[in-house]
Structures are given as C-alpha cells and as structure tokens.
Amino acid sequence: MLKQRETAGAREDSAETRELTYAQAIREALQLAMNRDERVFMLGEDIGVYGGAFGVSDGLIDQFGAERIRDTPISEAAIAGAAIGSAMTGMRPIAEIQFMDFITLSMEQLVLQGAKIRFMFGGKATVPLVLRTPAGSGTGAAAQHSESLEAWFVHVPGLKVVMPSTPYDAKGLLLAAIEDDNPVIFVEHKLLYRTKGHVPEGYYTVPLSQSDIKREGTDLSVIATSIMVPRAIEAAEILAKKGIELEVVDPRTLKPYDATIATQSVRKTGKALVVHEAPKTGGFGAEVVAELVAGDAFDYLDAPVRRLAGLDVPIPYNRELERAAVPQVEDIVREARALVEGVY
Amino acid sequence: METKLKESGLDSATLLEALRKMHLIRLFEEKAESLYALGKIHGTMHLSIGQEASAVGSCLALQPDDYILSTHRGHGHCIGKGAEPKLMMAEFFGKEVGYCRGRGGSMHIADVAGGNLGANGIVAGGIPLSTGVGLSIQMQQQDKVCLTFFGDGAANEGAFHESLNLAAIWDLPVVYICENNQYGMSMSVERACAVQRIAQRAAAYDIPGMTVDGNDLFAVYGAVKAAVDRARTGDGPMLIESVTYRWRGHSKSDRQRYRSRDEVKEWMEKDPIARLEKALLSAEIVSEADLEQVANAARKTIEDSVAFAEAAADPDPASILEGVYA
Ligand SMILES: Cc1ncc(C[n+]2csc(CCOP(=O)(O)OP(=O)(O)O)c2C)c(N)n1
Ligand SMILES: [Mg+2]
C-alpha cells in the first residue's frame, strides 16, 4: 500500500544555499514531495515528455514515470475533479492547470466540490490537493492567457491561496501546501519562472499564512504580491538613492491572510501602498487595505492608504498597451514617492 | 484526385483562387515565423502550415455571409474566409489598423464584417459560441450557416459534448469541423481519445459524422459542402473530422519530443498545396507558368502586407480604456 516514508514531517535543514530559478525551485519541491510520499502524484496537460508549458516538470516523467506524472487530455473540469476525487480517497494530487485563465473551466469542481467537501461532510473527509497554475501578463499572449484570478479564490471559503514571489518561497511554500490537508491554489507567475535566488538543498517548508518582509525600510510600507514584489524592491532601490526607504511586505499566502506583519510594518512607517497585478476593482488589495484601516494600523496612519493595481481592462496584445495595463517599476516609484512626499 | 476535382463542380477560376489562398496561408505563416525570429513581432503564434486544404476547402463551401468560428491556429481559417492579409499582418504587429486594433494579436484575429467571429485562445472556446450563432440564425430565419473549427484536443472538453447535444436537439445550422492534426500540443489523439475516429462521437448525439482526408482540398470541400447544404435546409448539425497534420511545433516553445522527424517527413510528403497543384496540372486546368504566377502573386501580397503593417501606427496608449464599459 501507499505509505508515507520515514522522512515525512522531518525538517532536513541544510546550511548550504545555491542559486536556483523559481521554476527549478518548484521542480525540486515536486521531486522531494514525490520521493518522500508515494501518494503524491501530478496530473495536467503536457506535463510529461513536454515538461509542462513552462518547463516546470521537465524530466520528472523520466524520474517518476507516466503513472505519477500523468498527462491528461485537454479537460480542465476533469483534471480538477480527478484531483479532488483522488484527494478525498487517499491520494495527494498536484494538479497543473496550464494557464490560470483555464481554471475558469475547473471552477465548479474547485469551488462547489473541493472547497466545500470537508465542511459540508462534517469533517469526515478532507481534500489534500494542490493546484498549481501560472498567472500573469507580460508575455504578449493577450487577454485569454494573462489572467490574475487569485481574488476569486480568496473569496471562496475552503480554498487556500498561495502566491510566491521568490524561488526560496516557491519551494518552501509548495512543500507546505503539499503537506496541508486542504485544497491549496498555488499561483505561480510566468515572468518569475526564470528569476534566480538562493534556495537551500533538501526539505524545508515555509509556513502558510505568514507574510514576509522582503526589504526593510522606514518611510513607506509597500505590500505587494507575486511579480510586484521584485518590482517593488527595484522601485525601493531607485528611491533609496533619493533618500526614501521603502519597506516591502510580501503576504505570500493570500488566504488565510494574516495581516500581522503588514500591520506592524505600517505602525512603523505610518504609510502604506498596496500593489498587485490583478485589476484593482475587487482585487486582493482591497482586503489588505481593509485589514489595515479596520485594524491596529489605523491610529498610526499618516496618509491615506493607496492601491496601485492593474487597470480594469482585459490584457491587450500590443506591447505598450500590455505594459500600461499593469503596474511597472516606474509606476511604483511614482506612487510611492507621492505618498511619502504627501502630494497625492 | 482528378475525378474528385471533376465531381466537385468547381470552375477553374474558383480553383485558382483556392490555390492562391492556400499559398497565402503558408506564406503568411512563414513570414510571421521569420518576423518573430527577428524580434519584430512578439507573443505567441500557432502555425497551420500543412493544414491549408482543410481551412480553404471548408470555407469554399460557404457563402460570403455565412459565419465561421476559429481557433488559436486560425490564420488559415481567416484567410480562407476572405480576410485581408495586410490587416491580419497589422494585427500581428499590434497596430491600430489591425483587425482587432492591436488588442488581440495572432490568437484573437477576428474579421467580424467578413463573418469570421474570431480565433480563440481557449481550446473549444468557439464551439459553444457557434451553437449560439446557429440558434440566432434559426431564430431570425436567416439563410445562413455557421461553421466552427476546432482541434482534436478540443473534442475532449466538456464544451464540445454539451454543444453538439444542444445543436442536435434543436437542429441548429452548425457544421462542426474537427481538424484532427494528430496532436493537442504533445498529446496524441490515440492517447487522448477513447474512440479511434473523432467522427464516431457524432453517434452519441445522433447526428451524421464523417472522416475525410484533410489534406485533399476536394475531399474536404465535398464533405463540408454536403454538411453545409444540409444545415442550410434545416436538417441540423453535422460533425466532420478532417484528418491532417501540423508541420511545425505546437507554438514557438515546442521542442517536439513527442513525435519523430520521420513522422513529420512522412506527412510533409502529403503536402496539400503540392497535391492540389498536381491535380490542377493533370486536369490541364493550369500550366506550370500559371502555377508560378499564382505563387508569385501570393508572395507579393504577403510582402506588401508586411510593408503596410510596419508603416502603420501603434495604438495611442491613452486609448487603453476604450471598449471597457465595466
Ligand atoms: C481551455 C484550454 N486549455 C488548454 C489550453 C492550452 N492549449 C492551447 S492549444 C492546445 C492544444 C490544442 O490542441 P487541438 O485542439 O488539437 O488543436 P491544435 O493545437 O492541434 O490545432 C492547448 C493544450 C488552452 N488554450 N485552453
Ligand atoms: Mg490537434
């Protein structure tokens, strides 16, 4: 029978760190998880010999075979359903939806089945599922291949939502998501796949629901998700030369979202700018702002809390329009500066 | 092919026009490919080189005001339906004069005025829409049909099954053309489908299904013409499986590890353009010189379309919110 190996639950810390890309870090997490737990398997479109649309699962089929790296027909509802059904009955599936846009075809199974089962059945069943999917614009693939739909899932009780911004977090959060007994929507960013960062060897987890300070600063807290984290850091480097110090906070897990770190940061800086790629209206940023102004940060605010987000527009194909549709480094610099200098 | 040519009833002017369009498709895509390599156009593209007879033969069975819906691999359908290559090329360049004002790109080219309701970035995304178009034609009692293209991979989406059933119970004037080019990205039809022939699935909806050689213009035309005529007289939908092959990778990033060079080579010998040329020659409809002239004229059209697109203006960034109403 399929059993967890002895290493399960153990944390094999390694002092050694290497540079890996975000995609490699994810692949390493997948390898580690599949090596230590036979119940873990992957299913999705073109994840086998093709190696996944973005090469994330490259080579895994050679290592784990076609049973565990399971190519499916183009059937997103069935992918989600097969993952949920198998998760309810003893397996620990990792489903891949090739582009986040196509998760729209999986919605019923995810939202009405997977998210509800544990609660609705009185806790008699769990759904230990991870659904990985690449989101975001910047590839010239236009309106149906550029969506950032994380806020939809944040709004559904019963789904966890994770959005790593660095290779280190990607690996540790993915391993934590796989360990978790509940469905996790794991949102990767296409433009981050090739970014590099330090990633320790061996097994480690980054706890879900824990924000991280990616850069310390004193003048303004920038709370940013996914690709906007490196953009905010770049903006911070530019502003540092002008004597403005941004603190960059990365929520990492959007649901359940713990506002403690953002709140502490804003209590220190007195100002907050929330940045994400998804359209502003109804976006996750609204939740971040609400947690700040309705909570313990309110009394410490010296300025209005601002949001910088994608325009409420489908992502255009034309390169310049595409850039203009979502926040760029220069936009963060401009908005941050305006907030710090009080000209808004 | 010669007897099929005669049986087709197509006159020589029509046949030469069909050949011209097949050349246009191939040359358009070869050009797009090289422009991409030069970094002049960006994003992604899906080439239908090798599948030209399927697109052109199908559209040949349509009247100008009939509709088509297309796919991510849609340049051929678009040209087949009569679109202007220069406006397609301008869209590829992201220019304001392009078919979608530079907002859509390769994967979303639509020529609404010409009856092409769009390429589609979503596999099977057009199939339910076409069912709705058929419903609209029926409710307005128009003398039109809707022809919808999709791939073998798309036939495994729920949308395909729901739509065919709906079209069948309502007798909608829709012709479903499954272009079976053997793969959905890396997934072969044999691995992805339980049935041997996708056309067999018509039986589940009690509509006629038929498999044709998609690299034979006359075979495609004959089958689609019969289906279109049938739909136009109110006899309901039909499923046609057009068996063909894509010569290029799925998109720009495909290393093609799932198929052999020999397999590709084998299919390249079934070149639909060469086959049509041969049939036209042996039926003595054209001379070698005529063929050369058709190819050269098509080449010039594509060269001109690039010059047109390069010279055209980009969209004004200030116009980004135009068309956004909510
Ligand atoms: C709903 C959906 N799932 C997956 C994709 C990614 N994708 C784009 S084309 C394609 C293969 C489609 O195969 P097929 O329908 O046979 O058409 P072909 O590419 O062979 O012309 C895939 C998987 C998509 N665009 N939409
Ligand atoms: Mg195909």
Q: CATH code at B68?
A: 3.40.50.970
Q: Is residue A116 part of a domain?
A: yes
Tell me, yes or no, whether A34 and A54 share the same domain: yes
Quote the ligand 1 centre to A78 CA distance (angstroms): 15
Of B44, B186, B326, nearest to A46 by CB-CB distance is: B186
Given a cut of 60, whether residue A27 has pLDDT beyond it is yes
Q: Is residue B30 part of a domain?
A: yes
Is residue A76 annotated as part of the catalytic site, yes or no?
A: yes
Q: CATH code at A232?
A: 3.40.50.920
For range A71-92, the mean pLDDT: 98
Is residue A145 annotated as part of the catalytic site, yes or no?
A: yes
Tell me, yes or no, whether A194 and A217 share the same domain: no
How far, in Å, CA of B84 to CA of B89, rounded? 9
Cα-based distances in Å from B233 to A295, A318, B142, B226? 67, 43, 11, 11
Q: Is residue A246 part of a domain?
A: yes
Q: Which residues have a Cβ under 8 Å from the Cβ of A306 and sit 6 or more positions away?
A: A272, A273, A274, A335, A339, A344
Given a cut of 60, whether residue A6 has pLDDT beyond it is no
Given a cut of 80, whether residue A64 has pLDDT beyond it is yes
Of A45, A145, A311, nearest to B185 by CB-CB distance is: A45
Tell me, yes or no, whether A113 and A250 share the same domain: no
* pLDDT 10s digits, A84-126: 999 999 999 999 999 999 999 999 999 999 999 999 999 999 9
Task: Please list every protein residue whose CB sits less than 6 Å from any atom of ligand 1.
Answer: A 45, 74, 76, 98, 102, 105; B 46, 71-73, 121-123, 150-154, 181, 183-185, 250
Tell me, yes or no, whether A84 and A171 share the same domain: yes
Q: Is residue B324 part of a domain?
A: no
The answer to whether A50 contacts chain B (CB < 8 Å) is: yes
Amino acid in position A163: M
3-class secondary-structure state, position A193 = coil
Tell me, yes or no, whether A153 and A248 share the same domain: no
* pLDDT 10s digits, B61-120: 999 999 999 999 999 999 999 999 999 999 999 999 999 999 999 999 999 999 999 999
* Residues A49, B186: C-beta atoms closer than 8 Å: yes
Q: How far is B291 from chain A (nearest CA, A)?
A: 37
Q: Is residue B321 part of a domain?
A: no
For range B28-51, the mean pLDDT: 96
Confidence of residue A8 (pLDDT cuts 50, 70, 90): very low
Q: Is residue B154 part of a domain?
A: yes
Given a cut of 70, whether residue A9 has pLDDT beyond it is no
Place of tokens 């589940």: B204
- The tally of domains found in chain B comes to 1
* pLDDT 10s digits, A266-307: 999 999 999 999 999 999 999 999 999 999 999 999 999 999
How far, in Å, CA of B87 to CA of B97, rounded? 7
Tell me, yes or no, whether A49 and A148 share the same domain: yes
Please give the mean pLDDT across all residues of chain A.
95
For range B201-206, the mean pLDDT: 98
Quote the ligand 1 centre to A326 CA distance (angstroms): 26
Of A74, A101, A102, A146, the one to substitute when testing ligand 1's pocket (max ligand atoms within 8 A of C-beta) is A74
Tell me, yes or no, whether A66 and A178 share the same domain: yes
* CB atoms closer than 10 angstroms to residue A210: 14
Q: What percent of chain A lies above the pLDDT cut of 90? A: 94
Q: Is residue A5 part of a domain?
A: no
The answer to whether A337 contacts chain B (CB < 8 Å) is: no
Chain B hits for A316, Cβ within 8 Å: 102-103, 315, 320
* Residues A105, B314: C-beta atoms closer than 8 Å: no
The answer to whether A139 contacts chain B (CB < 8 Å) is: yes
- The tally of domains found in chain A comes to 2
This prediction's pTM: 0.96
Cα-based distances in Å from A302 to A44, A268, A341? 48, 11, 11
Strand bridging mode A196-200 / A160-162: unpaired
Given a cut of 60, whether residue A7 has pLDDT beyond it is no
Torsion of CA B248, B250, B255, B260, to 10 degrees: -60
How far, in Å, CA of A254 to CA of A135, rounded? 15
Joined tokens for residue A306: 């601002």
How far, in Å, CA of A206 to CA of A187, rounded? 15
Confidence of residue A15 (pLDDT cuts 50, 70, 90): low
Joined tokens for residue B171: 């007798």
Q: CATH code at A167?
A: 3.40.50.970
Please identify, among A200, A228, A263, the residue that sits at the C-terminal boundary of a domain: A200
Tell me, yes or no, whether A196 and A216 share the same domain: no
| pLDDT reported for residue A1 | 38
Q: Is residue A55 part of a domain?
A: yes
Chain B hits for A311, Cβ within 8 Å: 320-321, 324
Please give the mean pLDDT across all residues of chain B.
97
Confidence of residue B3 (pLDDT cuts 50, 70, 90): confident
CA angle B326, A311, A265 (to 5 degrees): 125
Quote the ligand 1 centre to A302 CA distance (angstroms): 51
CA neighbor of A5 nearest in space, from A35, A42, A40, A41: A35
Output the CA torsion sign for B5, B222, B195, B273. positive
CA neighbor of B310 nearest in space, from B98, B27, B134: B98
CA angle B257, A185, A111 (to 5 degrees): 115
Please identify, among A200, A229, A253, the residue that sits at the C-terminal boundary of a domain: A200
Nearest CA in chain A to B258: A49
3-class secondary-structure state, position A278 = strand
Structural domain harbouring B40: 2-310
| pLDDT reported for residue A17 | 72
CA neighbor of B92 nearest in space, from B47, B137, B56, B144: B47
Q: Is residue A33 part of a domain?
A: yes
Of B154, B193, B317, nearest to A320 by CB-CB distance is: B317
Q: Is residue A7 part of a domain?
A: no
The answer to whether A300 contacts chain B (CB < 8 Å) is: no
Strand bridging mode B187-188 / B209-213: unpaired
Tell me, yes or no, whether A239 and A141 share the same domain: no
Place of tokens 């080439």: B47
* pLDDT 10s digits, A211-260: 999 999 999 999 999 999 999 999 999 999 999 999 999 999 999 999 99
Quote the ligand 2 centre to A65 CA distance (angstroms): 24
Tell me, yes or no, whether A137 and A56 share the same domain: yes
| pLDDT reported for residue B253 | 86
Q: Is residue B194 part of a domain?
A: yes
Tell me, yes or no, whether A123 and A187 share the same domain: yes
Q: Is residue A4 part of a domain?
A: no
For range A67-86, the mean pLDDT: 98
How far, in Å, CA of A201 to CA of A206, rounded? 14
Q: How far is A52 from chain B (nearest CA, A)?
A: 10
Q: Residue A156 — φ and ψ, nearest 5°?
A: -105, 110
Q: Is residue B318 part of a domain?
A: no
* Residues A320, B105: C-beta atoms closer than 8 Å: no
Q: Is residue B51 part of a domain?
A: yes
Given a cut of 90, whether residue A4 has pLDDT beyond it is no
Joined tokens for residue B325: 């109403």
ipTM (interface predicted TM): 0.96
Torsion of CA B6, B10, B15, B21, to 10 degrees: -130
* Residues A74, B107: C-beta atoms closer than 8 Å: no
Structural domain harbouring A112: 17-200
Distance between start and end Cα atoms, chain A: 63
Q: Is residue A8 part of a domain?
A: no
Tell me, yes or no, whether A83 and A177 share the same domain: yes
* pLDDT 10s digits, B280-318: 999 999 999 999 999 999 999 999 999 999 999 999 999
For range B247-263, the mean pLDDT: 96
How far, in Å, CA of B25 to CA of B51, rounded? 9
| pLDDT reported for residue A2 | 45
